[in-house]
Amino acid sequence: MFDFGIIPPAMFLGMIIFMLYGFPVAFSLAAVGLFFAIIGIVTGHFGEVFLQALPLRFFGILSNDLLLAIPFFTFMGAVLERCGLAEDLLEGTGKLFGGIPGGLAYAVILVGAVLGAITGTVAASVITMGMISLPIMLRYGYNPRLATGVIAASGTITQVIPPSLVLVVLADQLGRSVGDMYLGAIGPSILQVTIFVLFILVMSIIRPKSMPPLPKEVRGDFNWALLAKVLMGMVPSIVLIFLVLGTIFMGLATPTEAGALGVVGAIVLAAMNRRLTWPLIREAMSSTTHITSMVVMILIGSTCFSLVFQGMDGSRWIEHMLSGIPGGPVGFLIFVNIFIFVLAFFLDFFEIAFIVIPMLAPVASSLGIDLIWFGVLICVNMQTSFMHPPFGFALFYLRSIASKDVKTSDIYMGALPWVGMQLILVAIVIFWPQSVTYWLDHGPKVDPNSIKIEVPGFGGQLGLPPLGGGGNGSPQIPGLTLPPLNGLPGAPPPPAK
């Protein structure tokens, strides 16, 4: 514990105390970092020159092109949140599946997945689906715990489905490609939606009265007009998903450029729905500025903390502690996921990504763990932070828009089965890494040390014959003989005759 001194654990403990006390995270991190920087200089851990790296790190944050994807994706999600696309999708899909037990729950899960792929924001998905679907579910006999649970869980799928902001941030912190992180998240995204759908299917068989079908006068007739309405909502969404993700996967655009394309596509969709107004753009810009400023400030504070922490040998202390965990890489992953699951009760996913991940990534790399697999696994785990009582943000969002007839205890109890399903996915990703790595590009790998260049005619050696002829039948290259050196300053004397 104290093989590297008492200062690294004291610094880590000081950070936790500051944040639990309620200070803003960005300023807490910076304050702890600067305070222990003074201690480090006084105790001789490093000199004042060491802190000259701070301005360079700040400039690196502000000039990081990858982080430009955050305001683009945030703005895209904010526009789509207000343009009425979710309402149209939910209304049409709800009527499409409404004739079977659990039909509205299926619709909420599928629309949550689509919204996750085009908005990337949990708040937008949970609030929109809660305002539209929850009253209808309760009115027609759905169990309140089931209804609130499926809405909250479907909103958190957003964290795993590309183009999730969490994946962008994790890719930056792990030093990996955002495109690879998105590809790695495809498998867990499909598995998560499948697990949710199977749960509803089983519940509809065991307890059909908890999720009855909608009356025919509510859902209407199943006809081509209904299918056309659903397709009119789905097709523009699919086009936007391809515009954002397809261009990244095909190598046609960087994540930042794809985010800019997504913003253009979101504005076009808002105009198609006749809801593109200046108040909408103003609200979206305000929300984007708020989130982006928060992210940058947390990044600056975490950079200050991490620089001093490394100067105190904190990274070596973390690696020393975690490398000795029994079970090798699997034991390390189980411990890390339990640790992050507990931290998620108190910290936002941005804070976990900027504070904890830089400490864990070197250990994971030293254990031979693929960092894309590691990053997607952490992302799957962090989606539980929006669901588990009593601090899950998705539960807060749902409580804010639910009627007074819905008890808070029902919202909390309804979330527990879905948290369990999310943890099942965590276990699947830990013990089945191919669920992530299968989608990555595993092209032929060439070891540079194994490359050998052979030139025919020179005995397999990459060499040249003597320029002036070496005797013994060795070839001579015409016109490239050296002039005699006799008489030049420093030239060797001519051979004796």
DSSP output for 153-182: HHHHGGGTSSS-HHHHHHHHHHT--HHHHH
Q: Are 395 and 352 in contact (CB under 8 A)?
A: no
- Distances in Å between the Cα of 185 and the Cα atoms of 112, 166, 262, 358 are 16, 11, 19, 20
The answer to whether residue 332 is domain-embedded is yes
Q: Are 50 and 376 in contact (CB under 8 A)?
A: no
CA–CA separation, 375 and 346 (whole Å): 20
The answer to whether residue 422 is domain-embedded is yes
- Distances in Å between the Cα of 203 and the Cα atoms of 152, 199, 216 are 17, 6, 22
Torsion angle defined by CA atoms of residues 359, 361, 362 and 367, in that order, rounded to the nearest 10 degrees? 130
Kindly state the tokens that stand for 25: 């995270």
Question: Of all helices (H) and strands (E), which one includes residue 281?
Answer: helix 278-311
Burial class (CB in 10 A: 0-12, 13-18, 19+), 58: middle
The answer to whether residue 457 is domain-embedded is no
Q: Are 410 and 389 in contact (CB under 8 A)?
A: no
Looking up tokens 């792929």 gives: 117
**pLDDT value, residue 426:** 92
**pLDDT value, residue 221:** 66
**pLDDT value, residue 83:** 76
Q: Are 77 and 161 in contact (CB under 8 A)?
A: no
Phi and psi based region of residue 213 (left: phi greater than 0; alpha: psi -120 to 50; beta: remaining): beta
Q: Are 309 and 32 in contact (CB under 8 A)?
A: no
- Which portions of the chain are predicted below pLDDT 50? 1-2, 458-464, 467, 470-471, 474, 477, 480
Nearest to 151 by CA among 403, 397, 389: 397
The answer to whether residue 16 is domain-embedded is no
Structural domains counted in the chain: 1
pTM of the model as a whole: 0.76
Q: Are 70 and 164 in contact (CB under 8 A)?
A: no
- Distances in Å between the Cα of 386 and the Cα atoms of 83, 398, 414, 461 are 24, 11, 13, 64
End-to-end CA distance of the chain: 80
Q: How far is CA 252 from the centre of its chain?
A: 21
Tell me the backbone φ, ψ of residue 231, rounded to 5 degrees.
Answer: -65, -35
Kindly state the tokens that stand for 11: 């610094």
Reduced to 3 states, what is the DSSP secondary structure of residue 3?
coil
Ranges of H-type helices in 383-448: 393-401, 408-431, 434-437
The answer to whether residue 40 is domain-embedded is no
The answer to whether residue 173 is domain-embedded is yes
Q: Are 261 and 253 in contact (CB under 8 A)?
A: yes
Domain enclosing residue 173, as ranges: 66-437
Length of the chain: 497
CA–CA separation, 403 and 457 (whole Å): 87
Please report the sign of the dihedral spanned by the C-alpha atoms of residue 249, residue 255, residue 261, residue 264. positive
**pLDDT value, residue 198:** 94
**pLDDT value, residue 2:** 46
Q: Are 399 and 126 in contact (CB under 8 A)?
A: no
The answer to whether residue 46 is domain-embedded is no
The answer to whether residue 306 is domain-embedded is yes
CA–CA separation, 449 and 474 (whole Å): 32
Please report the sign of the dihedral spanned by the C-alpha atoms of residue 213, residue 215, residue 218, residue 224. positive
